[in-house]
């Protein structure tokens, strides 16, 4: 691939995740391999410019000791990993530059005024400067335009753009033997390519052990001087194009984020005075535009939560005036619970203080209740199960089996409890709700949507058994949605001290109850929208994977020898 082909495909390639940084690395890789610009047979030969560089080097080293001159001349060259283009040569860095050491400073030599001392941190992130009043030999100073290289844990080349400074021990100044016969900016880009290659390979720690001698032996692919100038110009042109593409991408993503955020804000926190009918219209429009509004995984995550929030506020499906009111459902539940309590089938209901309160106006025919009002049992697992662990037997559900909104049963434990043990009260059944009450996953809810046979819960899990499993799915939506009860549950869990919930926190949780028929319509709508979110997420993953594969194929092809 040459520069023309690269520019032709730039827009398409740049859409892949992480494409622009990869393209920047490719540009430098092509540049130092001679594949970015055309070679010109009319260019002055490298041999001629090397002759001049060596002559300038010999003059500069004229005052050096014979041993120093010999050691420098005999620098070994590393083998390049690619074939040199016609007309190029490979030389050691020492044949092109002097690698000059900086100076280490004692604490009492670093002052608040004087000549600035350039440290590695000043090249990267630090804005804190030290100064010195020392008078040093000239090669210990760095002037504007000097080529330098940081070789500590943070490493890489720089062309210094500041005032005259003293450079620190962990910085080398690379003084060209001949400014007229070597393009400093080409050498800088070669060193930048080498730095990126080291970082990408994960061998950056090796720079900590880099020595001046090893640096001098670094192999440099050297094109004719005129080609060096052309390479620098083309690299600058393509890097500017990368900057434009990156800026355009960022602006496009910012606009999409603002649109998605504003739309979700309008749904989750409608303006004062907005009627339920208007809110429902907003929701319908937003949901109809899901493919356009969800362009990144984080958009889909926010959309899932918005679907839940709309569901528990009655804004996902229209109300039907002929539905049996929730009040009638609650009356039947109270009668059932009273009968079961008289028979001793369920424990006597505990009195819960206060009145259920929600943060949004209830739709027609809805009621606000405490979670305990619609459940026959709210308990938690027993202690002491560790001694009953077994290779097989009844299942044992622990906190790690409960993810947000789902059960994970691939790493389920087994127990072999003794007959008539206290733990028998924590035996679960299909339709039960489970809530993590201690540990990292505290407040995570899940529905036991299948028959596990004989199974129990640990002491870190609350077991919530609805009076009628027909609305178990609805209660799960409430426990997953902020306004449906989750916000209150999280506040109680993290309100003070070590995160955790007690059973009264769960029993007294305020939740909305719609008519049973509407519950079923809402649950069905949520299922459909969550399935759509799954499809969009899969499409995003596929698109990103395809784009990434295309990028990899193009990058690999670009570096294959012709």
Could you tell me what percent of the chain has a pLDDT over 90? 53
Give pLDDT tens digits for 109-121: 999 999 999 999 8
Predicted local distance difference test score (pLDDT) of residue 427? 92
Predicted local distance difference test score (pLDDT) of residue 13? 64
* Domain boundaries 3-61+85-202+210-246, corresponding CATH code: 3.90.220.20
What's the mean pLDDT in 6-32?
77
For residue 413, is pLDDT > 90?
yes
Rounded Cα–Cα distance for residues 96 and 281 (Å): 71
Rounded Cα–Cα distance for residues 173 and 141 (Å): 9
For residue 33, is pLDDT > 70?
yes
Name the more confident of 543 and 40: 40
Q: In what order do the strands lie in the sheet with 455-457?
A: 413-415, 389-397, 455-457
For residue 62, is pLDDT > 80?
no
Predicted local distance difference test score (pLDDT) of residue 72? 47
Tell me the two tokens of residue 204. 């950056």
Predicted local distance difference test score (pLDDT) of residue 10? 62
Q: By mean pLDDT, which of 231-235, 290-294, 382-386, 483-487 is the weakest?
A: 290-294
Contacts (Cβ under 8 Å, ≥6 apart) of 6: 23, 26, 27, 30, 238, 558
Confidence of residue 68 (pLDDT cuts 50, 70, 90): very low
Confidence of residue 249 (pLDDT cuts 50, 70, 90): confident
Give pLDDT tens digits for 293-350: 677 777 888 888 989 999 999 988 889 999 999 999 999 999 999 999 888 888 887 7
For residue 449, is pLDDT > 90?
yes
Predicted local distance difference test score (pLDDT) of residue 201? 67
Pick from 147, 221, 144, 156: nearest CA to 184: 147
Predicted local distance difference test score (pLDDT) of residue 500? 93
DSSP string, 52-69: HHHHHHHHHGGGS-HHHH
Predicted local distance difference test score (pLDDT) of residue 74? 44
> Would you say the C-alpha torsion 97, 89, 81, 34 has a positive or negative sign?
positive
Average pLDDT, the chain: 85
SS3 of residue 220 by DSSP: strand
For residue 66, is pLDDT > 70?
no
Contacts (Cβ under 8 Å, ≥6 apart) of 376: 337, 340, 346, 465, 466, 467
What's the mean pLDDT in 215-235?
95
Torsion, Cα of 353, 359, 364, 370 (10° steps): -20
pTM over 0.85: no
Predicted local distance difference test score (pLDDT) of residue 77? 47
Predicted local distance difference test score (pLDDT) of residue 71? 43
Predicted local distance difference test score (pLDDT) of residue 75? 43
What's the mean pLDDT in 513-523?
96
Predicted local distance difference test score (pLDDT) of residue 547? 66
Give pLDDT tens digits for 371-396: 999 999 999 988 888 888 999 999 99
Give pLDDT tens digits for 347-371: 887 766 667 889 899 999 999 999 9
For residue 63, is pLDDT > 80?
no
Which CATH architecture best describes the domain 326-514?
Alpha-Beta Complex (3.90)
Contacts (Cβ under 8 Å, ≥6 apart) of 445: 402, 404, 405, 433, 434, 435, 436, 476, 479, 480, 486
What's the mean pLDDT in 51-69?
73
Predicted local distance difference test score (pLDDT) of residue 351? 67
Give pLDDT tens digits for 84-101: 999 999 999 999 999 999
What's the mean pLDDT in 436-461?
94
Contacts (Cβ under 8 Å, ≥6 apart) of 196: 25, 28
Confidence of residue 6 (pLDDT cuts 50, 70, 90): low
Pairs from 231-235 (Cβ < 8 Å, separation ≥ 24): 231/31, 231/36, 231/37, 231/186, 231/189, 232/183, 232/185, 232/186, 232/189, 234/3, 234/31, 234/36, 234/37, 235/27, 235/28, 235/31, 235/36, 235/189
Confidence of residue 70 (pLDDT cuts 50, 70, 90): very low
Q: By mean pLDDT, which of 66-70, 92-96, 160-164 is the weakest?
A: 66-70
SS3 of residue 44 by DSSP: coil
Give pLDDT tens digits for 524-548: 999 988 998 888 888 877 766 766 6
What's the mean pLDDT in 178-191?
96
């Amino acid at each position: 691939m040459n520069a023309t082909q690269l520019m032709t495909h730039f827009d398409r390639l740049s859409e892949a995740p992480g494409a622009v940084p990869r393209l920047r690395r490719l540009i430098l890789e092509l540049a130092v391999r001679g594949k970015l610009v055309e070679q010109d047979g009319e260019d002055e030969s490298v041999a001629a410019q090397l002759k001049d560089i060596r002559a300038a080097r010999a003059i500069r080293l004229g005052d050096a000791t014979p041993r120093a001159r010999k050691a420098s001349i005999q620098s070994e060259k590393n083998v390049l990993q690619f074939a040199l283009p016609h007309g190029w040569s490979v030389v050691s860095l020492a044949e092109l530059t002097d690698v000059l050491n900086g100076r280490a400073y004692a604490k009492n030599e670093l002052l608040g005024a004087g000549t600035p001392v350039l440290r590695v941190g000043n090249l990267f992130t630090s804005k804190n400067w030290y100064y010195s009043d020392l008078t040093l030999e000239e090669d210990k100073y760095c002037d504007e335009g000097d080529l330098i290289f940081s070789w500590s844990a943070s490493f890489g080349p720089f062309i210094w753009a500041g005032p005259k400074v003293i450079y620190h021990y962990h910085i080398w100044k690379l003084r060209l033997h001949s400014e007229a016969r070597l393009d400093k900016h080409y050498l800088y880009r070669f060193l930048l390519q080498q730095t990126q290659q080291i970082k990408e390979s994960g061998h950056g720690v090796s720079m900590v052990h880099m020595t001046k001698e090893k640096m001098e032996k670094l192999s440099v692919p050297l094109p004719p001087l005129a080609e060096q100038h052309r390479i620098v110009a083309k690299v600058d042109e393509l890097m500017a194009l990368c900057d434009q593409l990156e800026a355009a991408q960022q602006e496009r993503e910012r606009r999409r984020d603002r649109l998605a955020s504003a739309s979700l804000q309008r749904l989750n926190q409608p303006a004062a005075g907005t009627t339920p009918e208007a809110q429902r219209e907003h929701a319908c429009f937003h949901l109809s535009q899901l493919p356009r509004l969800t362009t990144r995984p984080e958009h889909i995550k926010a959309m899932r939560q918005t679907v839940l929030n709309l569901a528990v506020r009655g804004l996902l499906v229209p109300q039907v005036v002929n539905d049996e009111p929730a009040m009638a459902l609650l009356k039947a539940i109270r009668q059932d619970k009273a009968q079961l309590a008289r028979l001793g089938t369920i424990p006597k209901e505990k009195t819960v203080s206060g009145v259920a309160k929600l943060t949004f106006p209830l739709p027609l025919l809805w009621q606000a209740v405490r979670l305990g009002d619609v459940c026959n049992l709210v308990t938690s697992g027993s202690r002491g199960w560790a001694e009953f662990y077994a290779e097989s037997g009844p299942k044992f559900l622990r906190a790690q089996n409960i993810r947000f909104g789902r059960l994970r049963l691939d790493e389920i434990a087994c127990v072999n409890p003794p007959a008539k043990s206290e733990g028998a009260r924590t035996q679960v059944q299909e339709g039960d709700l489970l809530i993590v009450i201690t540990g990292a996953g505290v407040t995570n809810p899940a529905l036991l949507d299948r028959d596990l046979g004989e199974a129990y819960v640990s002491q870190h899990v609350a077991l919530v058994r609805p009076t009628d499993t027909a609305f178990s799915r609805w209660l799960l939506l409430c426990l997953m949605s902020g306004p449906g009860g989750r916000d209150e549950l999280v506040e109680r869990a993290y309100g003070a001290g070590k995160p955790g919930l007690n059973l009264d926190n769960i029993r007294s949780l305020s939740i909305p109850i719609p008519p049973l028929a509407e519950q079923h319509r809402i649950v069905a709508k949520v299922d459909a929208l969550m399935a759509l979110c799954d499809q969009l997420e899969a499409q995003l993953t596929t698109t990103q994977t395809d784009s990434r594969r295309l990028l990899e194929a193009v990058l690999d092809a670009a570096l294959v020898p012709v």
